[in-house]
Every structure is written in C-alpha cells, then in structure tokens.
Amino acid sequence: MSTPTLDKHSAALDAAENTAFEQITITLRVRRFNPEVSDEVTWVDYQLEMDPKERVLDALHKVKWEIDGSLTFRRSCAHGICGSDAMRINGRNRLACKTLLKDINPEKPITVEPIKGMTVLKDLVVDMDPFFQAFRDVMPFLITKGNEPTRERLQSAEDRARFDDTTKCILCAACTSSCPVFWNDGQYFGPAAIVNAHRFIFDSRDEGAEQRLEVLNDKEGVWRCRTTFNCTDACPRGIEVTKAIQEVKRALITRRF
C-alpha cells in the first residue's frame, strides 16, 4: 500500500522543509500618516532581520511588535482569505499576507503605502465605507420571482461554472484601488462592484439581471472602464476582472446573459 514518497522529493520540497532560519536584512519603507499627530505624511525606513520566506505582513508585525506599536494596518486571517490587508507594495496592489519577501526583491527597500483613491485615515488604514457602498448599490444578492421550490433550485454544473470566477471575490479592494479611472473619479463603481454584479447576472438562478444592468448602465457605471487590466493584475484571487467587466458590457448591449 505504501508509496515511496521520499523518492518524490523535489528541490522545492527540500527547500520548503529546510528548517534553518535564513537571515537577511531588509529595509521596509512605510508611508506614515496620523492626522491626530500631524497633517504631514512621512516615509519611515525600518531595518529588519527577516527570513526571505516570511511575508510582508510578518515584516509589518515585526515593526509593530518590536519597534513602533503605533504603526497601524488592518489584518486578520493572514493567508489571503479575509481581504483585510490589501496595500500598495512596491507600487503594486497586493495582500501583505500573500506576498513573500523573496518574491519582491528584498535587496532593495520595500515600499508599503495604503491603497490609492480612498481616504487615508491612519498609516495603511483607509476609509472602506464608499467601497462597500458601491458594492451595495449593485444589489449583490440573488433576486428571484415566484414561489420558492421545496428543495434546492436545480443548476447544472455548466451553469454553475459560468460565474465561478467572480464568486471568489473577497472584497479586499485591490482591484478598485488599482484602477486609474477610480483614482480620478471616486463616483465610479469600480471593478469590485462590477465583479459582484457579474456574479449574479450570470447566475442561472437569478432573475434580477435587468435591474442590475440598469444600475451599471449609469454614467458612473461599467462604461467608464478603459480596460487597462490593472484590476486583473491586482486581484489576489486571480479573478479575470477585466474579462468580467467586458462580459457585463456585452450583456448590456445584447441583453443576453
């Protein structure tokens, strides 16, 4: 019954099982801002001894726990599921808990700043309320007519697969805050809200697509998208955000979904 797993050892597995703490010195350059103290933004460098396999979140924790307790950021699950710690790392939106130091060249200073286009409240914490308001505006819930069935609604595996990609959204705002249109126009719904509209428009059980499409046909709606693909690059869940937006645009024209 036994399979000789030892024979399957790859170099990657050997590296993963290496217990030695590989120590490197990194510079974490963080954009600090606390209006309770000063209206000035400052960039502060922290020299840290880290293992390259550690996450940017670990580096932020090291600062907070050992150097300066006032450094403020949101985080919770620490493995890319809760969506709390989207931030701009070396100029690109990522989750701090899903970004390993070795993957972003730890030899140069690592810059960390809040996601753009939202009001900064303190350090890396931004005001998320407008973001969630845009989400609410697209009616992100199943809309059905008529009587409910006794058992579950039936849905074929193919129909279920149609909207699978957009069910993965964790509402971290990495996409919306990477969008140049959103930076210039805070009224724009932004990619995340459209992704969540897509999730329902293409769900075979849903009967609210027309209502949702009307919302997105608004001048601040889906037509503002200029397909720069920043959102797709930024999504930590690998959602093809731009493609989803294009599908919503097409549905608006063809009214087929």
Partner 1 sequence: MQIHKYDTVIVGAGGAGMRAAIESTKRSRTAVLTKLYPTRSHTGAAQGGMAAALANVEEDNWEWHTFDTIKGGDYLVDQDAAEILAKEAIDAVLDLEKMGLPFNRTPQGRIDQRRFGGHTRNHGEAAVRRACYAADRTGHMILQTLYQNCVKEGVEFFNEFYVLDLLLTEVDGVKRTAGVVAYELATGEIHVFQAKAVVFASGGTGKFFKVTSNAHTLTGDGQAVAYRRGLPLEDMEFFQFHPTGIWRMGILLTEGARGEGGILRNKDGERFMEKYAPVMKDLASRDVVSRAIYTEIREGRGCGPEGDHVYLDLTHLPPEQLDAKLPDITEFARTYLGIEPYTDPVPIQPTAHYAMGGIPTNVEGEVLADNTTVVPGLYAAGEVACVSVHGANRLGTNSLLDINVFGRRAGIAAAEFASRNDFVELPEDPASLVVDQVESLRDATGNERVAEIRKALQETMDTNAMVFRTEQTLKQAVEDIAELKQRYNNVSVQDKGKRYNTDLLEAIELGNLLDLAEVLAVSALARKESRGGHYREDYPNRDDVNFMRHTMAYREVGEDGAESIRLDYKPVVQTRYQPMERKY
Residues 115-174 that bind partner 1 (CB under 8 A): 121-123, 125, 128-129, 132, 135-136, 139-142, 148-149, 151-157, 160, 163-164, 167-171
Q: Of 81, 211, 167, 63, give the one whose Cα is nearest residue 123.
A: 63
Q: Which stretch binds partner 1 (CB under 8 A): 69-77, 174-182, 210-218, 244-252?
A: 69-77
In whole angstroms, how close is the CB of 220 to partner 1 at the nearest point? 19
CB of 246 to partner 1, least distance (A): 21
Nearer to partner 1, 163 or 181 (CB): 163
Token pair of 42 as six digits? 């400052």
- Examine residue 2 and tell whether it contacts partner 1 (CB under 8 A): yes
Nearer to partner 1, 2 or 254 (CB): 2
Query: Which residues is 30 bridged to in the sheet?
Result: 44, 112
Around 173, how many Cα atoms within 13 Å sit in the side-chain half-sphere?
26
- Contact (Cβ atoms closer than 8 angstroms) between residue 199 and residue 251: no
Task: Tell me whether residue 59 or residue 181 sits nearer to partner 1 (CB atom).
Answer: 59
Cβ proximity to partner 1, 113 vs 203, nearer residue: 203
Instruction: Between 73 and 188, name the residue whose CB sits nearer to partner 1.
Output: 73
Strand partners, 92: 89
Which residues inside 203-242 make contact with partner 1, applying CB under 8 A? 203, 205-206
From 21, 25, 37, 41, residue interacting with partner 1 (rule: CB under 8 A): 37
Shorter beta-carbon distance to partner 1: residue 8 or 219: 8
Which 8-state DSSP code applies to residue 65? I
Name the region of 218 (left: φ>0; alpha: ψ -120 to 50; beta: rest): beta
Whether 95 contacts 85, CB under 8 Å: yes
- Which C-beta is closer to partner 1: that of 44 or that of 100? 100
Per-residue tokens: 35: 């209006």
Q: Would you tell me how many other CB atoms lie within 10 Å of the CB of residue 139?
A: 16
Query: Which residue in 28, 46, 50, 83 binds partner 1 (CB under 8 A)?
Result: 83
In whole angstroms, the minimum distance from the beta carbon of 52 to partner 1 comes to 11
Residues 6+ apart with CB under 8 A from 183: 116, 117
Contact 45, 101 (CB under 8 A): no
Q: How far is the CB of 196 from partner 1 (least distance, A)?
A: 8
